[in-house]
């Protein structure tokens, strides 16, 4: 419930269902897998290579990323783990460059800014400086 004014409350379903919106449904997962050809978008490995596939939020949930097909990508267990736990790695930087390019092509200003912030952190601390980020 949202308090509008003294004694006046409004029910906001968008808030009530926010938690659920953050997780992909079975149907969304299937659609994302199908779109990505049942392969990890980073290394191209799939079930036939014996890897487990996960559906990842391109824009992380912590940054307000929602469970939409557009915000989903197929990652193998390894790359999913790297993205979640080892942000300051070569793969991490490459992944954020890829995401930045995607955001630019979609003209998603919010996501561009998010990626730029992350990539600027890499540059500021000269982490994996050999990987060139073309702004």
CA distance 29 to 49: 20
Tell whether residue 43 is a contact of Zn ion (CB under 5 A). yes
Tell whether residue 67 is a contact of Zn ion (CB under 5 A). no
Burial readout 7-44 (b: 16 or more C-beta within 10 A, e: otherwise): eeeeeeeeeeeeeeeeebeeebbeebbeebeebbbbee
- For residue 18, which of 66, 56, 63, 82 has the smallest C-alpha distance? 66
Segment interacting with Zn ion (CB under 5 A) among 56-64, 77-85, 108-116, 119-127: 77-85
Q: Least distance (Å) from Zn ion to the CB of residue 99?
A: 15
| Residue from 29, 36, 40, 111 in contact with Zn ion (CB under 5 A) | 40
Q: Least distance (Å) from Zn ion to the CB of residue 79?
A: 4
Tell whether residue 42 is a contact of Zn ion (CB under 5 A). yes
Q: Name the β-bridge partners of 39.
A: 46
Tell whether residue 41 is a contact of Zn ion (CB under 5 A). no
Tell whether residue 111 is a contact of Zn ion (CB under 5 A). no
CA distance 73 to 77: 12
Tell whether residue 76 is a contact of Zn ion (CB under 5 A). yes
Binding positions for Zn ion, rule: CB under 5 A = 40, 42-43, 76, 79
């Amino acid at each position: 419930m949202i308090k509008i004014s003294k004694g006046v409350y409004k029910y906001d379903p968008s808030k009530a269902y926010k938690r659920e919106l953050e997780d992909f449904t079975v149907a969304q997962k299937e659609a994302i897998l199908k779109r990505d050809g049942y392969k990890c978008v980073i290394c191209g490995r799939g079930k036939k290579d014996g890897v487990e596939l996960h559906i990842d939020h391109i824009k992380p949930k912590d940054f307000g990323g929602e469970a939409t097909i557009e915000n989903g990508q197929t990652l193998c267990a390894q790359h999913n783990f790297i993205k979640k736990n080892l942000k300051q790695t070569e793969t991490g930087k490459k992944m954020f460059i890829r995401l930045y390019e995607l955001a630019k092509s979609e003209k998603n200003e919010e996501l561009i800014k998010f990626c730029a912030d992350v990539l600027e952190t890499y540059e500021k601390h000269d982490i994996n400086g050999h990987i060139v980020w073309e702004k």
